[in-house]
Structure 1
Amino acid sequence: MARRDVSRGAEVSLLSARKFWHALGFPIVEDDDAMFTEADLMALKSVARLVREQELDEETALAMTRAFARTTDRLAVWQTQLMAEALAEPHTEAALDEADARAAPDLAAARASALKLADMVDELEPLLIYAWRRHLTAAISRMLADADPDASSEGVQRVVGFADLVNFTSLVRRMTERQLAVLVQRFEALATDIVTAHGGRVIKTVGDEILFVHIEPLPAAAIALDLIDTMKEDEVLPDVRVGMAYGPVLSRLGDVFGTTVNRASRLTSVAPAGEVLVDDALATALATMSGFETTALRRRTLRGIGPVTPSALRRAAGGRTRTTREPSDSGEPGEPEPSSTREATS
C-alpha cells in the first residue's frame, strides 16, 4: 500500500500518518510509494484509537510512539549483534589482531544470524511483551510511591551513581575492536546484574560508564561497593571508581537530570581507582544505618557545582555506620576535566 491507502484505511489525515511514521524513526517515504503493509495499517489504527478512545492528544500519542521506537531500535540492533557474535567463527585471544578488528560480521555469519533471528521471532515476541509489562508495573509502582503531596517540586528523591572504568582511554588505544567489544559487553553485563540484584535501575551505559539510580541509600551503597569488589576480582576488566549523590532528580525520557546527577558525575571524576566517593547528603543518610562507614575528606570545589565535602564510603567492620571527619581545606584545587561521556550525561 501507499501512504494514502494507509491513512485512508486508518481514517486519519495524510499529515498525521506522516507524523506517525517519523515518530517511529523510519526513513522518509514518498506518499505514493507502495512501501506499507497491513501491519503498518494496524499500527496506525492503534495510535488513532489512543487519541480517540483514550482521550490522548496527538502530541502525547506520538511521544508514546517515539518511546517505543527508540527503545526497540536499540533492542533490535543489540540482539542482531549478539546473534552475529554467537554464530561467528570462534577466535582465541592470541588470534585477536587487527585483522579481526571489524565492527560488522562476515557475510556468512550475517546470513546465519538473519535466518536464526527470523526463526526465533515468534518465541522472542512474547518475551518482549512480558518484560515490558513487568517493567511498566514497576514504573507505575515507583510513580505512585513518589506521588507525595508534601514532596518538593524540584523532583523525586534518588541516589544517583556513576561507575567509571579507570584508564579506559589508554585501554582503547591498546585493544582491537573485538577485544574492546568483549570488555564493554562484560562490564555492562556485570554492572547491570549488580545494580538490579539490589533493586536499582540502570539508566544507561555509555562505553566505559554506567549511570544507575536507587530510591534507598543503603542498597545504593551496597551496589557501589559490590561494583568495586567485582571489577577488582575480574581478570578482564580494569578497576572502577564510583561517585554517588543523594537528592532531587528530574526524570524525563527514561533518563535523569539535575544538580544531583551533575554532583555524582563530578565526584566520579575525582574518585581514586577502586574507591567510592559520596556527597554529604548521602553520607548523612548512611550515618543512621548499619553496615557502612564514611570518612569525610578535604573540602574541594567541583566545576559547575561549587564547594563540596566528599566522603569515602567503605563497609563497616561491624556495628552501626560510622562517620569520621578529616580537616577541611577550602583551598583544594578543582578536579580534572570530566570525560565527554559524563559531560553529555550532565
Structure 2
Amino acid sequence: MTLQQRIEEMLLGGPRRYTRIEVTEKSGVPAERARELWHSLGFAAVPDDAKVFTDSDLTALRTANELVQAGITDPSQVTSSARMLGQHMSRLAESQVELLRGILLANPELATDERQLIRFIERIVPDLEHLQTFAWRRHLAAYAGRALVATDADVAAHQQVVGFADMVGFTSFTRRSSEAELVSVVDRFDAVTAEVVAENHGRIVKMIGDEVLFVADTPTGGAEIALTLLERAESDDELPLLRAGLAYGRVLSRFGDIYGSVVNLASRLTSIARPGSVLIDRELTSALAESPHFVIRHRRPVAVRGYARLRAAVLRRAHDDAELLHIPLEPDDLPSR
C-alpha cells in the first residue's frame, strides 16, 4: 500500500471496498439518486466496477435516505444541502491542506519519515474535526436561537442590509506583486473583515477574491460595518483603500447564500463608489435619515447595468462630514440636510 493510500484510508475511516452498484444495493437508494448526491457533493463520476466507496459512504447514504423516508426532508432539499456542504467543505479542506503543507515545510523530518507523517496526521485530524464541530455548533446555536423561535410574521417582515466592500486597484496590485505579498494582503483583508463584521453583529456571506459580501439585520449595523471597514483599511499600511455599497430590503437566504434585487443593487452601488466612500440605496437612505450619527449626501442618478437611473447617496459619519465642510462638494454630491 502506498503512502497516499494509507493516508486516504485513515482519513476515510476505512478501505475503499464497494463499487457504485454495491453501495446503492446495500443502502437501498436508487442508483440515479445516489449518483445525483455524489455529484452534488462535488465528486466526479466513477466507473460502475471501481471500488471507491467505504463504509462511511454507505452510512451517509443510508442516513440521507432515512431522513427522506421519515418525512423530515425531501429529495430536493437533500440534494441542495449536499451541494452546499460540498462547496463549503471543499474550500475548507483545501485551506486545511495548505495549513498542513506549511507545517510539513517547516518540519521537513515529518515529510521524509512515513511513520512520523502518519502519526502526525493521526494526531492533528481529530483536533481539526473537533474544532470544526465546535464552530458549527456555536454558529448553529446563534442562528437557531433567533430563527427557530421567530413567528411566521417575523420571518415574512424580515429585511436586511446587504453590503459589498472591495479593495481598490487590486487587479493592478496583483500584476506587480509577488505571491507572498498577495497572500499577505488577502489574509489581512480577511482578518480585518472578519473582525469588523463580527463586532457589529453582521455575517459574512462569502469572500469573493478582493471583495466581501456581508449582511446585517439593522440599518445602523450595516452602516457601521461599511464605514468601519473603510476606516480600518485607510489606517492600515498593508491594505489598499476600500469602497463599499449598501442596499436595504427583503433578501432570500438559501443554504448560506443570498439572492434578490437587493444583492444586485448593492453590487452595482459598489461598482460606482469612489475609493474610500460608501454608497447607499434609497431604502437605506430613508432608514438612516433620522440618525444623528450619519450624514447622507445624495448623488445625481447614473446609468449602470440593469438600472437606467440608479439613485444613490454617499454615507459618512456626522463628525467626518463636519470636518469636510470647508472642502467643495463633488459635482454629483447633493446635500440632503
* TM-score bin, normalised by smaller chain: 0.7 to 0.9
Q: Give the match's secondary structure for 1:298.
A: strand
Find the aligned partners of 1:24 and 1:88 in 2 and give their Cα distance.
30
The residue that corresponds to 1:298 in the other structure is 300
* Equivalent residue letter for 1:40: D
Find the aligned partners of 1:23 and 1:150 in 2 and give their Cα distance.
29
The residue that corresponds to 2:141 in the other structure is 137
Q: Which runs of 5+ in 1 are unaligned?
A: 91-106, 319-325, 331-346
Aligned residues: 304
Matched, 1:12 2:29: yes
Query: Once superposed, what is the RMSD of the aligned Cα atoms?
Result: 3.0
User: Shift in Å at residue 143 of structure 1?
Assistant: 6.9
Matched, 1:23 2:27: no
Does the aligned pair in 2 maintain the 1:204–1:210 contact within 8 Å? yes
Give aligned-pair identity as a percent. Answer: 40
Matched, 1:123 2:140: no
Q: Which runs of 5+ in 2 are unaligned?
A: 1-17, 321-328
Correspondence for 1:147 among 152, 165, 172: 152
Alignment of 1:33-44 (within 5 A): 33-44=50-61
Normalised by the size of structure 1, how large is the TM-score? 0.78
1:51-70 residue CA offsets vs partner (Å, 9 max, x unmatched) = 11244322222222222222
The residue that corresponds to 1:185 in the other structure is 187
User: Shift in Å at residue 123 of structure 1?
Assistant: 1.6
1:195-224 residue CA offsets vs partner (Å, 9 max, x unmatched) = 122111111111111111111011111111
Does the aligned pair in 1 maintain the 2:104–2:111 contact within 8 Å? no
Q: Where do 4+ consecutive residues of structure 1 move more than 6 Å?
A: 111-115, 326-330
1:304-331 residue CA offsets vs partner (Å, 9 max, x unmatched) = 123233222122239xxxxxxx89979x
* Equivalent residue letter for 1:66: R
Q: Give the match's secondary structure for 2:300.
A: coil
Matched, 1:212 2:229: no
* Equivalent residue letter for 2:314: A
1:168-211 residue CA offsets vs partner (Å, 9 max, x unmatched) = 11101101223212211221121122112211111111111111
Which has the higher mean CA deviation after the structures are superposed, 259-268 or 217-226? 259-268
Normalised by the size of structure 2, how large is the TM-score? 0.80
Which has the higher mean CA deviation after the structures are superposed, 142-151 or 11-20? 142-151
Q: Give the match's secondary structure for 2:319.
A: strand
Correspondence for 2:313 among 296, 311, 314: 311
1:65-86 residue CA offsets vs partner (Å, 9 max, x unmatched) = 2222221111111221233345
Does the aligned pair in 2 maintain the 1:299–1:328 contact within 8 Å? no
The residue that corresponds to 1:62 in the other structure is 79
Q: Give the match's secondary structure for 1:128.
A: helix
